[in-house]
Structure 1
Amino acid sequence: MDTAAARSRLEAMLDDLDRSIAILRGEHPGRDSSAADAGSGLSDSDRVEAALESLERHRNAVGAALDRIAGGTYGLCIGCGAPVPEGRLEARPDAARCVACQAKHDRAMR
């Protein structure tokens, strides 16, 4: 994948993620301390917190991909150093690992 095209896609992803994070934070700035809604509020807050954590992890991955572009290592697996397949980068421009290394990483994270 052309790094200029990758950078453009990643920057657009970063903008979208920032907007989504800001919306979630704006709608749910903190946990509801109301006793009447304690059960449902906690559940909603937990879902919002989980969504924010997921968005922030994705944002970090996109930022790391932009750093790899700047450092000249974009498209190289951070696990083994082999090129990440073009199709994988097309589908996931923030992909940091080849499929084999990603599978190993995922197993290790369980």
Structure 2
Amino acid sequence: MDDATARMRLETMLHELDRSIGVLRGDPVALQDRSAADAGADLTDADRTQAMIDAAKRQRTAVLAALKRLDDGGYGQCVDCGRPVPEGRLEARPEAARCVQCQARVERRR
């Protein structure tokens, strides 16, 4: 993927992530009289929403790091081993920082 296409895709992703985070953080709905079951459902929804916000923030951080690598000339190279990140991986995940082998190693450690 050429640098201009990568930058456009990453900046679009960043904009969409910022918008999604804003929507998820939206103003709380006015509280109404609720049963205990409704309160429990609200808590579950709040937990789910927070998990989605956290995931969006992690992806946003990855997109910003990819934009920095693009600016620094290291975009498309694995941050661990220095080998090229496969074109197909960058097409699917423009923010990818690692080749498939190094990413698999990172995920096994988790």
Q: TM-score, normalised by structure 2?
A: 0.89
Question: Displacement of 1:38 after TM fit?
Answer: 3.0
| 2:39 pairs with 1:38 | yes
SS in structure 1 at match of 2:41? helix
Query: Aligned pair 1:94/2:91, yes or no?
Result: no
Q: Which amino acid aligns with 2:8?
A: S
Opposite residue 71 of structure 2, the aligned amino acid is A
Structure 2 residue ranges without an equivalent (≥5): none
Q: Residues 88 and 95 of structure 1 are in contact (CA less than 8 Å); yes or no, is this contact kept in structure 2? A: yes
Q: Contact between 1:28 and 1:48, CA under 8 Å: does it hold in 2?
A: no
Runs of 4+ aligned residues of structure 1 deviating over 2 Å after TM superposition are 34-38
In structure 2, relative to structure 1, the CA distance for the partners of 1:64 and 1:6 (3 Å cut) is same
**How large is the RMSD of aligned CA atoms in angstroms?**
1.6
Q: How many residues align?
A: 105
CA distance in 1, matches of 2:3, 2:69: 10
Q: Hey, what does 2:49 align to over in structure 1? A: 48
- Which residue identity lines up with residue 64 of structure 1 in the other structure? A
2:24 corresponds to which letter in structure 1?
A: L
Give 1:49 deviation, angstroms. 0.3
Residue 53 of structure 2 aligns with an amino acid whose one-letter code is: L
User: What residue ranges of structure 1 are gaps of 5+ in the alignment?
Assistant: none
Q: How far does residue 106 in structure 1 lie from its aligned partner after superposition?
A: 0.5
Structural mapping, 1:52-67, within 5 Å: 52-67=53-68
Match status 1:22 vs 2:22: yes
Q: What letter matches 1:83 in structure 2?
A: P
Give the Å deviation of 1:4.
Answer: 1.1
**TM-score computed with the length of structure 1 as normaliser:** 0.89
Offset, 1:35: 7.7
Maintained 8 Å contact 1:28/1:45? no
Q: Which residue of 1 aligns with 2:9?
A: 9
